[in-house]
Amino acid sequence: MDFASLFGLIFGIGSIAVGYAIDGGSLSSLWMFSAMLITLGGSIGAICVSYGLPQLIKMPGLILSILIKPKSTIRQTANLLHFYSQNARQSGLLSLERLVTEQQNTNPFLKRSILMVVDGTDAEKISSILENDIDIEEQNRMTEIQMFDTMAAYCPAFGMVGT
């Protein structure tokens, strides 16, 4: 987990609690189940109406992906590409098919591109297909970002209703 995210979460919640307590407020009054239910339930309902249930179901996984470090780094990918290129020089392009299919954690984009090269697909066609894949992935990510933006817009409104 990213240390800064964890620190920010704890620091933010702690600052709110301490600030509220300093002004004489009771910490238990910050935790109102009915207000939380109205705020979160209303926001989640608005996301479901705006984006549909399949997108809503993805949200917990997206939140985890924000907090958890990525599986591979740029250096690991570069080392993997170097390994593949060395292997292709020594054993030929067809040897890459076995390597790519045997590895469980290979990036799906990289795996697909290497398999197209091994299959002898034309370079321009590979480029076109991969650019299309990138565009689709970018569009999916933009939808996910817009989902969180929408929730960020609805939460304060439902929060005022809940209090």
Answer yes or no: do 24 and 38 share one domain.
no
Query: How many Å apart are CA 150 and CA 55, to the nearest integer?
Result: 13
pLDDT for residue 162: 80
Instruction: Give the count of domains, the chain.
Output: 2
DSSP state of 28: G
pLDDT > 90? residue 122: yes
Between 30 and 50, residue with greater pLDDT = 50
Query: How many Å apart are CA 96 and CA 85, to the nearest integer?
Result: 9
Answer yes or no: do 22 and 58 share one domain.
no
Q: What DSSP letter does each residue of 32-75 carry, written as one string?
A: -HHHHHHHHHHHHHHHHHHH-HHHHHHHHHHHHHHHSPPSS-HH
Report pLDDT digits (tens) over 84-104: 999 999 998 888 998 888 887
Answer yes or no: do 2 and 80 share one domain.
no
Answer yes or no: do 27 and 81 share one domain.
no
What's the average model confidence in pLDDT over 138-143? 94
Answer yes or no: do 69 and 84 share one domain.
yes
pLDDT for residue 72: 72
Tokens encoding 116:
């197209």
Answer yes or no: do 22 and 40 share one domain.
no
pLDDT > 70? residue 66: yes
Query: How many Å apart are CA 90 and CA 130, to the nearest integer?
Result: 26
Answer yes or no: do 133 and 55 share one domain.
yes
> What is the band of 143 on the pLDDT scale with cuts at 50, 70, 90?
very high
Answer yes or no: do 80 and 146 share one domain.
yes
Answer yes or no: do 58 and 72 share one domain.
yes
pLDDT for residue 1: 60
Tokens encoding 31:
């935790």
Answer yes or no: do 18 and 69 share one domain.
no
Answer yes or no: do 80 and 102 share one domain.
yes
pLDDT > 70? residue 67: yes
pLDDT for residue 31: 79
Between 104 and 110, residue with greater pLDDT = 110
> What is the band of 146 on the pLDDT scale with cuts at 50, 70, 90?
very high
pLDDT > 80? residue 71: no
Answer yes or no: do 37 and 27 share one domain.
no
Structural domain harbouring 4: 1-31
- Cβ partners under 8 Å of residue 35, min gap 6: 159, 162, 163
DSSP state of 23: T
Q: Mean of the per-residue pLDDT values for the chain?
A: 88
